Amino acid sequence: DTGVSQNPRHKITKRGQNVTFRCDPISEHNRLYWYRQTLGQGPEFLTYFQNEAQLEKSRLLSDRFSAERPKGSFSTLEIQRTEQGDSAMYLCASSFAGTGTYQPQHFGDGTRLSIL
């Protein structure tokens, strides 16, 4: 169990640029989640996948945000035309879900995005 891996750890970019983050879940986990955390707040849910299917998206996920999990393994989160308000820590988590059973989510260390 190597844990949830996120890359890059830090991203600094200018307003208006596009950014993409990657998350590699724990290998046997079929669910993958994205959250956003700002300073002094708890993580806020963005979206999640079961295998390659995107099952839920938050209203927070504007049309500038898109997430994919094309082969049911790693996932990418892209933000287009970044804005100052996108500055945050982006967290990825994974878990295993079976029929009627839901295991706890395990989190990566996050990608910190800073918009100049």
Partner 1 sequence: GNSVTQMEGPVTLSEEAFLTINCTYTATGYPSLFWYVQYPGEGLQLLLKATKADDKGSNKGFEATYRKETTSFHLEKGSVQVSDSAVYFCALMGNQGGKLIFGQGTELSVKP
Residues that bind partner 1 (CB under 8 A): 31, 33, 35, 40-45, 48, 55-56, 58, 91, 93, 97, 102, 104-110
Shortest distance in whole angstroms from residue 70 CB to partner 1: 21
Shortest distance (Å) from residue 41 CB to partner 1: 6
Beta carbon nearer to partner 1, 20 or 106? 106
**Residue number with CB closer to partner 1 (44 or 68):** 44
| Rounded distance between C-alpha atoms, residue 116 and residue 16, angstroms | 10
Q: Which amino acid is at 106?
A: H
Q: How far is the CB of 89 from partner 1 (least distance, A)?
A: 9
57 versus 80: smaller Cβ distance to partner 1: 57
Least Cα distance to 33 among 18, 55, 46, 48 occurs for: 48
CA distance linking residue 103 with residue 30, whole number of Å: 11
**Nearest to 82, CA basis, from 10, 22, 8, 17:** 17
